[in-house]
């Protein structure tokens, strides 16, 4: 270990931007052992593992780096899969540069360990060699209902099944995975990666009820009666808008809807052709990972041009630097320090352009982030055929919550105690529907912890 002094950070091979723009296949290759192992060997094995501390799942990163360096794939696989319900997914979709890799000691001047890529490698290579997550045979007839198959529910189900507790999962969509399947484009996460996990869960005793919406196809009360506990992981699906004039004009999309439709198209499922951006000038508003997803999806969908408008500067973009870079490579254009003022429409209320104002950054606020100030009279317009709002999400609050006395907060988030239990006994929740739009990895953490508490409280 500590080989950082002899070897630089080398990221996994990436397909060239020209090539990858043409399809929706993943752009990164998975490391080979002889690439992953030397990269892992760069790890310092700090006394204070900052990566592990920063990771929302508190994955035992230094441990599996060490075993990967020692080419002990099995050990790496086990340690990595113990704390993480789907390491090969977080390895692909986590914004590592803000989390583990950002905190990595070597990130100061040496280049952080390629933690995400190695994490993906460990499980992918492990699967290749026949390693599989293992589950305990069901130990009880009592089961748990999980509402939503997104990262939180997915994670909760995984840990419940490991303890030999049967899970029934209710998903209103026709495919499982929630945001993983419909919110993250294929070029970042191949859907087979998600479905593979679900197949294993089903082998272990998961009953997956697709196309089943709770409150519509089955009542929440039924669940409460039939199941020992219920976990709600319905995510936050309500896209935020910019609150500007004409924001509902024809040619304005909400990010999640846009992405879902394209995904449906790829699945050959029914989809709405209004989201077709081929040959159009696309402007994406927002600077997060979802914005990048929309940009890169638009490029792949054959947009004439794709511009990204962001209120703050490059430095302050909330999304992963890696994705920003990929978007740039693929031909996106970025306009920083610009805040949308109004959508300019034609007679048919079709998007024509977007009017922007310049901004500057002021003093720090309490959270340490610099305040954004509008520069008056700095208006300018950007021509556009399509405007996509990627400004974050709020939870969509289903009726059954209130009906069953499950309390939510002012912005619709489900309120839970320190054990992830809601105001209603036996009902647990986690993920974006509790914390607001956040990361896959935080949802996975919530699901894992909630499962532990469900087991602790109702199955011991």
Partner 1 sequence: MDLLKSFKDNCGFGLLANIKNIPSHQNLQDAITALERMMHRGAIAADKKSGDGSGLLLSMPKEFIKKIAKEEAGIDLPKQIAVGMIFMRNLNQQEVIDRICEKNDLKVLFYREVPIDTTALGQQALETLPRIMQVFITTNSLVATKRFEALLYLTRREIENALKDDEDFYIASFSNKVISYKGLVMPTHIKHFYKDLNDPDFKISFALFHQRFSTNTLPQWRLAQPFRTIAHNGEINSIAANRYNTFMKSEDLESEVFSKEEMERILPITQKGISDSASLDNMFEFLIVNGMDFFKAARALIPAPWQNAPHMDSKLRAFYEYMSVCFEAWDGPAAVSLTDGRYIGCILDRNGLRPAKYVVTKDDRIIITSEYGVLDIDEDLIVERGKLKSGEMIGVDLKFGKVMKPKEIDDYLKDANPYDKWLMQNVTYLQEFLEVPFSKTDAYELDSLKKRQRFHNITEEVIEMVIEPMIKDGKENTGSMGDDTPLAAFSEQQRNFSHFFKQKFAQVTNPPIDPIREKVVMSLNTGFGEIKNILKETPQRATRLKSISPILMEEKFEILKSFGDPSKPRYKECYKNKTFSTVFEKDLKGSLEKLVKEIVRSVKEEGVRIIILDDRGDGENIKAIPMAMVVGRLNKVLLEEKIRHLTTTVAVTGEAYDTHSCALLVAYGANAIYPYLLFATVNEYLKKQKVSPYQMRNMFKNVYSALNKGFLKIMSKMGISTIASYRNSSLFDVIGLSKEIVDDCFCDSVMLLPGLGYEDIENRLNRYYNEAKEVERVEMLFPLKIGGFYKFIHKNEFHDFGPLVTNAIHRASITGDKKDYQTVQKLINQRGLKMIRDFFEFKSDREPISIERVEPKEEIFKRFATAAMSLGSISPEAHEALALAMNKIGGQSNSGEGGEAPERLKSEKNSKIKQIASGRFGVTPEYLRSAEEIQIKIAQGAKPGEGGQLPGHKVTPLIASLRYTIPGVTLISPPPHHDIYSIEDLAQLIFDLKQVNPDAKIAVKLVSSAGVGTIAAGVAKAYADKIIISGGDGGTGAAPLSSIKFAGNPWELGLSEAHNALKVNNLRGMVHLQTDGGLKTGMDIIKAALLGAESYAFGTAALTIIGCKILRICHLNRCSVGIATQDERLREHFVGTVDRLINYFTLVAEEVRELLASLGYERLEDIIGRSDLLKVVDHPKAKKFDFSSILMQTPGVNTCQVDSNKPFDENKFEKDILKKVYSAIENPSSPIVVTEQIKNINRSFGALISGEIAKYYGNNGLPPNTITFKLKGIAGQSLGAFLINGISIYLRGAGNDYVGKGMNGGKIVITPQTQGELFSCAGNTCLYGATGGKLYVAGSVGERFCIRNSGAEAIVEGTGDHACEYMTGGVVIILGETGINFGAGMTGGVAFIYDQKHNFIDKLNQDLVYATRIDTDERDEERHFIKKKLREYINETGSKKAQCILDNFRHTIRDFWMVIPKDMTKVPLNPEEGD
Helix and strand numbers (H, E) in the chain are 18, 16
What would the x/- binding string for partner 1 be over residues 324 to 353, using CB under 8 A?
A: ------------------------------
Judged by CB under 8 A, the chain residues 437 through 456 that form the site for partner 1 are 455
Cα angle, residue 363 at apex, residues 357 and 368 outer, rounded to 5°: 110
Using CB under 8 A, pick the residue from 22, 136, 199, 399 that binds partner 1. 136
Using CB under 8 A, pick the residue from 91, 133, 150, 183 that binds partner 1. 133
Q: Which stretch binds partner 1 (CB under 8 A): 46-54, 259-267, 396-404, 421-429?
A: 46-54
Tokens of 215: 């409150």
Cα–Cα distance for residue pair 332/343, rounded to 1 Å: 20
DSSP run (H or E) holding 357:
strand 351-364
Using CB under 8 A, pick the residue from 38, 102, 111, 164 that binds partner 1. 164
What would the x/- binding string for partner 1 be over residues 83 to 122, using CB under 8 A?
A: --------------------x-xx-xxx------------
Cα–Cα distance for residue pair 199/124, rounded to 1 Å: 16
Residue 154 within binding range of partner 1, rule CB under 8 A? no
Cα–Cα distance for residue pair 244/393, rounded to 1 Å: 17
C-beta of 59: minimal distance to partner 1 in Å? 10
Pick between residue 22 and residue 364 the one whose CB is nearest to partner 1.
364
Q: Is 203 exposed, middle or buried (0-12, 13-18, 19+ CB in 10 A)?
A: exposed
Question: If we measure between CA atoms, which residue out of 452, 10, 6 comes closest to residue 231?
Answer: 452
Residue 167 within binding range of partner 1, rule CB under 8 A? no
CB 361: neighbour CB atoms within 10 A? 16
C-beta of 113: minimal distance to partner 1 in Å? 12
**Residue 28: strand pairing partners:** 14
Q: How many residues bind partner 1 (CB under 8 A)?
A: 40
C-beta of 63: minimal distance to partner 1 in Å? 6
Pick between residue 6 and residue 243 the one whose CB is nearest to partner 1.
6
DSSP string, 303-316: -SEEEEE-SS-GGG
Using CB under 8 A, pick the residue from 24, 77, 187, 231 that binds partner 1. 77
Q: Which stretch binds partner 1 (CB under 8 A): 131-139, 248-256, 269-277, 359-367?
A: 131-139
Q: Which stretch binds partner 1 (CB under 8 A): 149-157, 160-168, 392-400, 417-425?
A: 160-168
Cα–Cα distance for residue pair 135/160, rounded to 1 Å: 9
Pick between residue 48 and residue 376 the one whose CB is nearest to partner 1.
48
Residue 200 within binding range of partner 1, rule CB under 8 A? no
Using CB under 8 A, pick the residue from 24, 28, 31, 63 that binds partner 1. 63
Residue 197 within binding range of partner 1, rule CB under 8 A? no
**Could you tell me the maximum CA-CA distance found in the chain, to the nearest angstrom?**
68
Residue 384 within binding range of partner 1, rule CB under 8 A? no
What letter would DSSP give residue 4? G
CA distances from 125 to 115, 129, 189, 228, 441 (A): 15, 6, 16, 37, 21
Residue 123 within binding range of partner 1, rule CB under 8 A? no
Using CB under 8 A, pick the residue from 20, 52, 175, 312 that binds partner 1. 52
Phi-psi region of 167 (alpha: psi -120 to 50; beta: other; left: phi over 0): beta
Tokens of 146: 């999980």
The contacts of residue 359 (CB under 8 Å, 6+ apart) are: 311, 312, 337, 338, 339, 372, 373, 374, 375
Instruction: Please report, as ranges, the residues that interact with partner 1 according to CB under 8 A.
Output: 2, 4-5, 44-50, 52-54, 58, 60, 62-63, 66, 72, 74-75, 77-79, 81-82, 103, 105-106, 108-110, 133-136, 162-164, 455
């Amino acid at each position: 270990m500590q080989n950082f002094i002899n070897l630089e950070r080398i990221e996994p091979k990436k397909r060239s931007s020209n090539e990858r723009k043409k399809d929706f296949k993943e752009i990164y290759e998975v490391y080979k052992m002889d690439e992953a192992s030397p990269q892992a060997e760069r790890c310092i094995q700090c006394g204070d593992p900052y990566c592990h501390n920063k990771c929302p799942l508190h994955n035992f990163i230094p441990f599996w780096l060490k075993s990967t360096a020692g080419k002990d794939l099995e050990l790496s696989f086990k340690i990595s899969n113990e704390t993480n319900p789907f390491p090969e997914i977080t390895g692909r979709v986590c914004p590592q540069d803000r989390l583990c890799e950002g905190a990595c000691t070597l990130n100061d001047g040496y280049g952080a360990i390629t933690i995400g890529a190695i994490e993906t490698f460990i499980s992918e290579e492990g699967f290749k060699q026949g390693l599989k997550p293992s589950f305990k045979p069901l130990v009880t007839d009592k089961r748990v209902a999980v509402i939503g198959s997104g990262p939180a529910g997915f994670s909760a189900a995984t840990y419940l099944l490991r303890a030999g507790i049967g899970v029934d999962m209710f998903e209103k969509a026709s495919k499982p995975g929630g945001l993983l399947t419909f919110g993250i484009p294929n070029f970042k996460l191949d859907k087979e990666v998600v479905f593979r996990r679900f197949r294993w869960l089903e082998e272990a005793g998961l009953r997956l009820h697709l196309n089943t919406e709770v409150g519509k196809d089955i009542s929440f009360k039924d669940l409460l009666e039939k199941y020992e506990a219920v976990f709600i992981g319905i995510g936050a699906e309500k896209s935020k808008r910019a609150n500007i004039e004409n924001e509902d004009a024809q040619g304005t999309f909400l990010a999640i809807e846009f992405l879902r439709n394209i995904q449906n198209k790829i699945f050959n499922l029914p989809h709405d052709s209004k989201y077709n951006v081929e040959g159009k000038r696309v402007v994406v508003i927002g600077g997060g990972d979802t914005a990048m997803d929309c940009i890169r999806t638009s490029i792949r969908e054959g947009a004439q041009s794709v511009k990204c408008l962001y209120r703050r500067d490059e430095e302050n973009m909330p999304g992963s630097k890696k994705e920003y870079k990929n978007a740039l490579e693929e031909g996106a254009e970025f306009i920083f320090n610009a805040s949308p003022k109004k959508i300019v429409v034609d007679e048919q209320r079709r998007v024509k352009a977007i009017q922007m104002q310049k901004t500057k950054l002021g003093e720090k606020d309490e959270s340490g982030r610099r305040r954004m100030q509008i520069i008056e009279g700095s208006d300018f317009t950007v021509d556009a055929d399509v405007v996509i709002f990627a400004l974050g999400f709020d939870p969509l609050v289903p009726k059954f919550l209130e009906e069953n006395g499950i309390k939510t907060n002012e912005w619709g988030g489900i309120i839970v105690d320190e054990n992830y239990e809601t105001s209603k006994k036996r009902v647990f929740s986690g993920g974006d529907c509790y914390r607001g739009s956040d990361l896959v990895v935080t949802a996975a953490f919530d699901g894992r912890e909630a499962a532990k508490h469900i087991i602790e409280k109702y199955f011991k």
